[in-house]
Chain A
């Protein structure tokens, strides 16, 4: 069994390993309905990335949606009498792909920490994000940013929401040349422009980023955030897991959804982020005022394509039984499967299309003969 699990394709093995990790940390599996009332998504459209929800009329005549998101359902169903809830999910969601503009079924594994003490909740979530990436590949990077820090800076500099979105867009692209031009265009003072460009340019280990974040912290809120990040850095360092964490504001998302720490995980050879997450108190507050939440999701679709090496053989043994007695065939297959512990495919005749590591012919007298591959 252990060998079978070891030999499973990555897209099947990784979910099992991730589930084990999350269960070890006390997270419970959340199962979601495939269909949800469309109203849930319509009322909270700002929190969904793009449009393109697949809708249909349900049995009772109400408009239903094929789930485009899991977090929203988890948040909606959070229990108000629980101080904290720790949940994980393994679900497929349906959304329009940004690249092809076609509907796609996206395989997602995620984790949500609802409620809880800020400092520890953040450290545990980031730790589990790091451990999740480690399961996928030893060569990974977790980028961390902070929406609260940026929003406080925008407030201090008097930057409007629409201009703030333009700036966020350029920061996401690491586009400092256009950010410099935009600061001029907006008529920002030299001090504001320098601070904004300095912050946008931070891209270093969390430990090295702290003094820079402190240097640019112009409000009390920003200073508090730096103190929170210092605590996080201390916890990660004490667990020896922080060396692949890079503080970089290019991970920031759109401001409606995330309000605090945000992060993205990258794995070498996979061209886009495999993990995204962050603190989404705004969404939580909509359903459960005053409560906080954070979490992340892993996108499993690209893993198989980029990391999984196709095995050379379909099966360990191809058994050609010809005219042998059926009971003898069944006994021989059982001996291989249960006795030797390998996989067997029994066929009456040899088929070159079946790729087997070894090929045997079962003679009528019960003897086995090794056959060379054609």
Chain B
């Protein structure tokens, strides 16, 4: 049986539909209940629906053989997993944004508000830019408006939130989309099945 961790929400629903089309369907997934584990009747596949940021942990620690996770989270958590495929869904950009008209003062450390502290540290580390990281857990866009930070590093999908708050993208850090990941040990023992799945998904995409 292949154990698959999917992110709860729209992305997880879309990925499930895609997997179902290539033979990994599971009737229990469509039932309206509060179950956490869904096993297909033929016991070919089991799905777990978990918080999107936790998918990587389930896979890295072998609770799930494979999973689907945003590249942004994968970059942030740096888990030791195989990244087998770009599913080209849930596309967005990880960007540096600031208030419109903002001018950087390079003489001072840059104050950066973000949820993605590791990505931010690496990005500015490569540029040898001294920064002061302000870790926030939500409403990141508020930080530069209140003078809490100079810039933010965050996910930008449509850019509407930025525009409505007088903010704009200053630089792109990375592109993100949903990725199919596999546990390195599980892959060894379920290689044929996972490889076949990747090939079939490639055709679909």
Contact = CB atoms under 8 A, between A and B. Distances in A.
Contact of B84 (A98, A174, A268): A174
Contacts of B86: 177-178
A226 B60 CA distance: 33
Given A173-B83, A174-B83, A177-B86, A246 B60 contact: no
B92 interface: no
Most buried by A among B82, B83, B191: B83
A103 to B, nearest CB: 19
B189 A271 contact: no
A31 interface: no
Most buried by A among B80, B83, B183, B185: B185
Chain A interface residue number, banded: 20 to 34
Interface residues of B, number: 17
B83 A271 contact: no
B82 A143 contact: no
Contacts of B183: 271
Contacts of A55: none
A98 B79 CA distance: 9
A46 interface: no
B195 to A, nearest CB: 8
Contact residues of B: prevailing secondary structure: mixed
A197 interface: no
A141 B85 contact: no
Nearest to A175: B83
B185 A174 contact: no
Contacts of B158: none
A272 interface: yes
B88 to A, nearest CB: 9
A273 B185 contact: yes
A178 B180 CA distance: 13
B40 interface: no
B61 interface: yes
Contact of A266 (B61, B82, B84, B188): B188
Contact of B80 (A98, A141, A143, A267): A98
A271 B84 contact: no
Contact of A271 (B62, B82, B85, B191): B62
B68 interface: no
B85 A268 contact: no
A192 B34 CA distance: 52
A17 interface: no
A138 interface: no
B184 A272 contact: yes
B201 to A, nearest CB: 12
Nearest to B88: A177
A141 B189 contact: yes
Interface string B156-192: 0000000000000000000000000001111011010
B189 A270 contact: no
Given A173-B81, A175-B83, A139 B60 contact: no
A143 B82 CA distance: 14
Contact of A272 (B85, B185, B189, B191): B185
Contacts of B85: 177
5 contacts: A143-B188, A173-B81, A266-B185, A266-B189, A272-B185
Interface of A: 98-99, 139, 141, 143, 173-175, 177-178, 203, 246, 250, 266-273
